[in-house]
């Protein structure tokens, strides 16, 4: 028996060493970690249990019969993060460039199927040169097998992709289907076709970084939800994100101990909204004062910055926040903001995370560029997402709520549970000046002093309509509250809504306006 045990140890050591010390050193020289080092940093110490460490590819063409590494370029297994079980795979670039083979794909698919059965999140650490060319269509089939499981797992368990190297061609579509994508500056790349192909086909001369680097995907394409300075930071951010998420769609996010009896008024909230309704302010100031410890994990921070999305705890409860940002484009909704908000809302609804909406929106962005690129269709995505969501939904209107954007941002009419407004709220079909110029057009133009008449009618309109009380009289607003008491009201609301039960009509699935 001892001989067999010694043989087992030798095989396990071979599997642990990846492509060998030289290739591990080459990884380090690029500023990248070895696949196993990444796992050690990500998971709770000593919790990783590997499976399929001895799997090898079965290919014989193009010299592959002479090249065999235990594990075949991907490490798979189960571990714990913050004490909770997770499943993971970590592609090993030191073994044949981390290329995807038939056996490699089978390992990833096995871990995903098991994760779905036991209801735990899947984390993919991606660092691969793409399909293993020597295996041809078998490798492509492996990608498709993974894509299918990504799709079937969507909304069942959280799926997180961490891009820690190249990710090109078909390889990009698996992360794109997952819930969150992390990228690292200067070492992560995602593109369907690389710079060389782009130059050949379109004659554009573009660098890897500009075409598909972390900052490009974080700010321009919206593919990356989080961009980090280095791999260690990325892995720590994944740990932080999991604190806000449940294990699966039947679970609820963990609650942290919090003494709700000690919640106090926050007088500073009374001072944030400017007297001039056209003057910007930073909605993050409000968020930081409302959430526990001022900790807000922002998602898509550098993309569509006119809307904010992210996670926080309020009264110890995990909450998803969607907020207009008056400091960027006056908080207007455009195509990118609508899509960003809609995706976040649907994620929260899929995984039982209550939603807080902080509203200061002057409407949808006008212009031919927006109209021709489908603002109607894309804006409808955000509307659809809020209408469809059955999780607890609470809205606070801090200032502007104009036009269709008022309806879209979780109004009472689309099943908002509690809708509050600050005294500074302006709920109207459009801004006061535009409304007055339409309603009193003849009266103003025929007046001896049109400007004086405009100001007179403007004051009249503001007093009558540009406030929250007309909406409150009809029950569209549940309460007009002082800003300082907002946090207390939110904690009470989310506690009341803990056992909320709402259902959508029975159907196969809806047809969101993609």
Specify whether the CB–CB gap between 393 and 386 falls below 8 A: yes
Q: What are the backbone dihedrals phi and psi of residue 433, each rounded to the nearest 5 degrees, phi first?
A: -65, -45
Active site amino acids: 169-170, 404-405
Q: What are the backbone dihedrals phi and psi of residue 5, each rounded to the nearest 5 degrees, phi first?
A: -65, -40
Q: Hey, what's the torsion of the CAs at 87, 250, 173, 25, to 10 degrees?
A: -20
DSSP output for 403-420: HHHHHHTT-GGGT-SEEE
Distance between CA 26 and CA 103 in Å, rounded? 25
Residue 302: CB atoms within 10 A of its CB come to 17
Specify whether the CB–CB gap between 225 and 190 falls below 8 A: no
Give whole-number Cα distances, 214 to 42, 131, 183, in Å. 20, 22, 5
Strands 296-299 and 226-228: unpaired
Specify whether the CB–CB gap between 419 and 377 falls below 8 A: no
Specify whether the CB–CB gap between 312 and 289 falls below 8 A: no
317, β-bridge pairs: 314
Segment (H or E) for 129: none
The residue assigned the tokens 């140890």 is 9
Tokens of 320: 């998803």
Phi/psi-derived region of residue 37, left when phi > 0, alpha when psi is between -120 and 50, beta in every other case: alpha
Q: Which of 290, 310, 286, 295 is nearest to 494 (CA)?
A: 290
> How many whole angstroms from its chain centre is CA 9?
42
Strands 307-314 and 317-324: antiparallel
Specify whether the CB–CB gap between 390 and 503 falls below 8 A: yes
DSSP output for 55-119: ------GGGGGG---TTTTEEEEEEEETTEEEEEEEE-TTTGGG-B-HHHHHHHHHHHHHHHHHT
Provide the H-helix boundaries in 130-192: 137-153, 173-177
């Amino acid at each position: 028996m001892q001989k067999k045990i010694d043989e087992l140890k030798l095989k396990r050591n071979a599997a642990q060493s990846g492509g060998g010390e030289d290739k591990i050193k080459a990884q380090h020289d690029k500023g990248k970690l070895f696949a196993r080092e990444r796992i050690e940093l990500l998971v709770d110490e000593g919790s990783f249990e590997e499976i399929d460490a001895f799997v090898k590819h079965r290919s014989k063409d193009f010299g592959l019969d002479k090249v065999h590494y235990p594990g075949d370029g991907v490490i798979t297994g189960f571990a714990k993060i913050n004490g909770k079980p997770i499943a993971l795979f970590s592609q090993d670039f030191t073994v044949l460039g981390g290329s995807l083979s038939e056996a490699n794909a089978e390992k990833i698919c096995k871990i995903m199927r098991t994760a779905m059965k036991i209801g735990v999140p899947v984390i993919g650490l991606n660092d691969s040169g793409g399909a293993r060319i020597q295996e041809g269509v078998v490798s492509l089939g492996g990608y498709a097998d993974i894509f299918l499981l990504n799709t079937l797992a969507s909304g069942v368990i959280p799926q997180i992709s961490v891009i820690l190297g190249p990710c090109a061609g078909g390889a990009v579509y698996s992360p794109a289907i997952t819930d969150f994508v992390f990228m690292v500056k200067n070492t992560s790349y995602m593109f369907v076709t690389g710079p060389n192909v782009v130059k050949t086909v379109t004659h554009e001369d573009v660098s890897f970084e500009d075409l598909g680097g972390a900052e490009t995907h974080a700010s321009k394409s919206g593919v990356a939800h989080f961009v980090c300075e280095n791999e260690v930071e990325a892995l720590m951010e994944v740990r932080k994100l999991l604190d806000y998420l449940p294990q699966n769609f039947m679970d609820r996010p963990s609650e942290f101990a919090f003494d709700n009896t000690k919640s106090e008024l926050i007088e500073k909230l009374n001072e944030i909204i400017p007297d001039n309704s056209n003057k910007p302010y930073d909605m993050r100031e409000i968020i930081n004062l409302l959430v526990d410890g001022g900790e807000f994990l922002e998602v898509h921070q550098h993309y569509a910055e006119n809307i904010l999305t992210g996670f926080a705890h309020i009264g110890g409860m995990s909450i998803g926040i969607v907020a207009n940002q008056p400091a960027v484009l006056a908080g207007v909704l455009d195509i990118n903001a609508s899509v960003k908000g809609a995706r976040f809302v649907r994620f929260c609804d899929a995984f039982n995370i209550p939603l807080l909406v902080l509203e200061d929106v002057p409407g949808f962005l006008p212009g031919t560029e927006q109209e021709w690129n489908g603002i109607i269709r894309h804006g409808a995505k955000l509307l659809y997402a809020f209408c469809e969501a059955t999780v607890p939904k609470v809205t606070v209107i801090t200032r502007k709520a104009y036009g269709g954007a008022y309806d879209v941002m979780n109004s009472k009419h689309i099943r908002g549970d509690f809708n509050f407004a600050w005294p500074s709220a302006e709920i109207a079909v459009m801004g006061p000046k535009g409304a007055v110029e339409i309603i009193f057009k003849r009266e103003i133009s025929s007046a001896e002093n049109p400007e004086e008449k405009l100001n007179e009618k403007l004051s009249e309109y503001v007093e009558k309509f540009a406030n929250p009380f007309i909406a409150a009289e009809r029950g569209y607003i549940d309460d007009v509250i002082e800003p300082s008491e907002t946090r207390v009201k939110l904690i009470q609301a989310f506690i009341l809504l803990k056992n909320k039960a709402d259902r959508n009509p029975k159907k196969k699935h809806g047809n969101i306006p993609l």
